[in-house]
Chains A and B, each alone.
Chain A
Amino acid sequence: MTVAQIGDRLEEFVRTQFRVSPSDARFSRSQRLFDMGYIDSVGVVELLAFLTEEFKVTLPDEALMSDEFSTIDGIAAIVGRLRAAV
């Protein structure tokens, strides 16, 4: 699975789980999910469980707190690296 494909699946999850309107022009894969209020502190737990279940990866805490873990593109890149390292 490529990073782009991971991003596709992740975007689909975020849009569905966190009810992002299809007409939301602000939303994109490079948008900051937490700062912009798309995902709250409870939602991030759901996101983490999704990453574990869907991509069979366990995110180390440093990745969870990184700048990269704030956009769909960034999270997809992290997941891609973790999968490649297995």
Chain B
Amino acid sequence: MSRVTLLGRLDPNFGWAGGALRQSAACDGGPPADLRGAFACVTTEPPRACIARDPLGLNKLFWAPDGGGLLLSARPWRLIEAGVPFEAIQAVPGGSAVDPFTGAARAIEAPVRRPREGDEVLAVEAVARELKATLDAYCTALHRAHPGATAYVCLSGGLDSTGVLMLALEHFRDVVPVSFDLAREAGPPSADRLTAERLAEHVGLPLLRVTPDADELLAGLDDVLREGVDWRDFNVHAALVNHALGRAIAGARGRDPCLVLTGDLPNEYLVDYHAEQLGGRTYYALPRLPAHALQLALVRGLDTSHREVGPLGAWDLPAVQVYAPAVDHYLALPDGFLGESSRKDRLSRLMFGERIPEYVYTRPKTRAQVGDADVGRGVLGLCLARGIDQPALRRRFAELHKVGDPASLDRFIRAGRYRSALPRLTEAA
């Protein structure tokens, strides 16, 4: 009997290496050194045993010692249910592959910032071409691997999700755009909803409208805290949106095969975030760093972001972060580019041109957690109105994971990383 036990299922793999999709969770010999995309594997039988996680840490994998053996799971709560104290849980470090029986470990090459030199205009154009080629190749491979799958596209109507919609239309036969908005008693729909409606009409597809009321949305909170493996408001709020989208998509797909395509990640790659102001307070504050350092910090922080795959996975939906394999291209953008206010607009125009309608390029940026120029109308405002603020989220996460002192959670996530160590069987085993 193996001394390495996996509890529950792994997150679905959508790794990318050598121009091929890597989906198998049986990673005999370990994943390739140039692996990108979301990936984790647990192969338990020696001599080919291997435990690995992708270099951005997109797929989650946690472990704890179990007598002389190891328990692993994609979610800490499963380890807690098996009797493991929270303090004993560690993540498998992103970008590592280890044989737990011998302790032999190797690193998967991490994406690093390698800005291009030379003429900036040409460099950005070159990056955009390569980026689009990678996205096209990835989507082609996705469709080949899932030929009968309907592609549900989480469509906020921002540039990233609209780009995903365009990719889906190029590469998939059946595409369903899905739009989130909070139900409200009065007033027009959110700017995100209005843009999504316009886009769906533009491409001639019916829009799946997901419009939960406050109670329906917040009913998913415990799921989101467990599956998202995070208590920080900016991630929890986005995960609530995705959980609601997941419920609707799961209902719409029935038993049919599907992929859920999301436009996550370019905000980190391009440092396209800002803090939000509500009621005289600042939310979603960002570290005060130069753009290039902030980019690296945000990319590094993806290790602890599971706000898409986690809550969608709660509905048994395979979520694909389409931009995941393209991280190296984004990190190759010239130094000055990150300082441009129109950087995402410029890059999207180079990749998608007029296929994305002008009104998407020119609309003000809104975050999924907000969805509208009126910040108070979104999930952030709703949670605060219900008293679900940052300390409340922390307390609830702690309760769900049987953590006595919520303050100790700071030793589980710090600077965007989970507490981590390479899993290895002890000598006593």
A interface, CB within 8 angstroms of B: 17, 34-35, 41-49, 52-53, 61-62, 64-65
* A64→B417 contact, CB < 8 A: yes
5 tightest A-B contacts by CB? A45-B287, A49-B293, A65-B419, A44-B415, A46-B287
* A45→B297 contact, CB < 8 A: yes
Q: List 10 A-B contacts (CB under 8 A).
A: A43-B287, A44-B414, A45-B297, A47-B415, A48-B297, A49-B293, A61-B418, A61-B421, A62-B420, A62-B421
- B54 to chain A minimum Cβ distance, whole angstroms, is 16
Cα of A53 to Cα of B407 in the assembled complex, Å: 29
Enumerate B279-304 residues with CB–CB distance to A below 8 Å: 285-289, 293, 296-297, 301
Point out the residues of chain B lying under 8 angstroms from A45, CB to CB: 287, 289, 297, 301, 415-416
B93 adjacent to chain A (CB < 8 Å): yes
Cα of A17 to Cα of B410 in the assembled complex, Å: 20
* A41→B232 contact, CB < 8 A: yes
B202 adjacent to chain A (CB < 8 Å): no
Point out the residues of chain A lying under 8 angstroms from B413, CB to CB: 41
Known contacts A34-B410, A42-B286; is-contact A64 B293 (Cβ 8 Å)? no
B411 adjacent to chain A (CB < 8 Å): yes
Cα of A11 to Cα of B301 in the assembled complex, Å: 25
- A64 to chain B minimum Cβ distance, whole angstroms, is 5
Looking across the interface, which residue of chain A has its beta carbon closest to that of B416?
Answer: A45
The A contact surface, by secondary structure, is: helix
Point out the residues of chain A lying under 8 angstroms from B410, CB to CB: 34, 41
Known contacts A41-B232, A65-B411; is-contact A46 B417 (Cβ 8 Å)? no
* B289→A49 contact, CB < 8 A: yes
Cα of A34 to Cα of B297 in the assembled complex, Å: 19
- A9 to chain B minimum Cβ distance, whole angstroms, is 18
Looking across the interface, which residue of chain A has its beta carbon closest to that of B301?
Answer: A45
* A64→B414 contact, CB < 8 A: yes
Determine which of A44, A53, A62, A65 lies in contact with B293 in the assembled complex, contact meaning CB atoms within 8 Å: A53
- A5 to chain B minimum Cβ distance, whole angstroms, is 23
Cα of A70 to Cα of B416 in the assembled complex, Å: 16
Cα of A35 to Cα of B409 in the assembled complex, Å: 11
Cα of A53 to Cα of B285 in the assembled complex, Å: 22
- B285 to chain A minimum Cβ distance, whole angstroms, is 5
Looking across the interface, which residue of chain B has its beta carbon closest to that of A44?
Answer: B415
- A10 to chain B minimum Cβ distance, whole angstroms, is 16
Point out the residues of chain A lying under 8 angstroms from B421, CB to CB: 61-62
- A75 to chain B minimum Cβ distance, whole angstroms, is 12
* A49→B420 contact, CB < 8 A: no
